[in-house]
Amino acid sequence: MQKLPLILALVFFAAFSFAQKKKTIKKLGIKTITFTEITGKTTIKDNKSTYDINGQQVEEVKYDKEGKFKSLTKFKYNRDGDVTEETEYNEAGKLTEKRTMKYDALGEKTEELVLDKDGKQIKKITYLYNSKGLRTEKKTFDAKNTLISTKKITYTFK
């Protein structure tokens, strides 16, 4: 039963985060958004996001169920505003994972590499799109570039 408030807080956080568009964050000059959970007399930090002057999220801090620092993720962007790099650090400040993204000329993400703390590939994900710019395929490869799975996406139009 104690997990229900935490689940609700996480759902609220996800909905609120997506609801806060980059344009709104920039327009209002929001620097950080912090989520806390209040249960009775206890207040526990859940998540904190930091934004730059363009409204782009540059950091996300996650806390454990006791409200203690759990991880830090930093984001880098290209000039089009696409995330090109995510680096995640653990509670000791040590790099745990790095993700790099590549985009095509239309700004569609074509590749994502997931690297471990030593820069070795954990997995690679590639994306394909149709002529309308809709994603049609996602392929996941392991550390040795062996295909693990393919997800196909089909669309039905009116």
Q: pLDDT tens digit string along 56-65? A: 999 999 999 8
Give the rounded percent of residues in the chain with a pLDDT score beyond 70: 87
Ranges of beta strands (E only) in 30-146 are 32-39, 42-51, 57-63, 69-77, 83-90, 95-103, 109-116, 121-129, 135-141
- 98 within a domain of the structure (yes/no): yes
Q: How many CA atoms lie within 13 A of 5 on its CB side?
A: 13
Asked if residue 95 and residue 157 are part of one domain, the reply reads yes
- Indicate whether 157 and 86 sit together in one domain: yes
User: Band of the pLDDT at 12, cuts 50, 70, 90?
Assistant: very low
Question: Which residue segment(s) compose the domain that 148 sits in?
Answer: 78-158
Same domain, 96 and 155: yes
Domain CATH number, residue 93: 2.40.128
Instruction: Mark whether 11 and 55 lie in a shared domain.
Output: yes
Dist CA 114 CA 62 (whole Å): 20
**Residue environment code for 6-26, b if the CB has 16+ CB neighbours within 10 A, otherwise e:** eeebeeebeeeeeebeeeebe
pLDDT (0 to 100) of residue 7 = 45
Mean pLDDT of 36-49: 92
* 6 pLDDT more than 80: no
Considering the domain architecture, whether residues 137 and 111 belong to the same structural domain is answered as: yes
Residues 53, 16 share a domain: yes
pTM: 0.78
- What is the Cα–Cα distance from 88 to 65, expressed in whole angstroms? 19
pLDDT tens column, 129-151: 999 999 999 999 999 999 999 99
Token pair in block for residue 73 = 């993720």
pLDDT recorded at residue 22: 79
66-85 residue pLDDT tens: 889 999 999 999 999 999 99
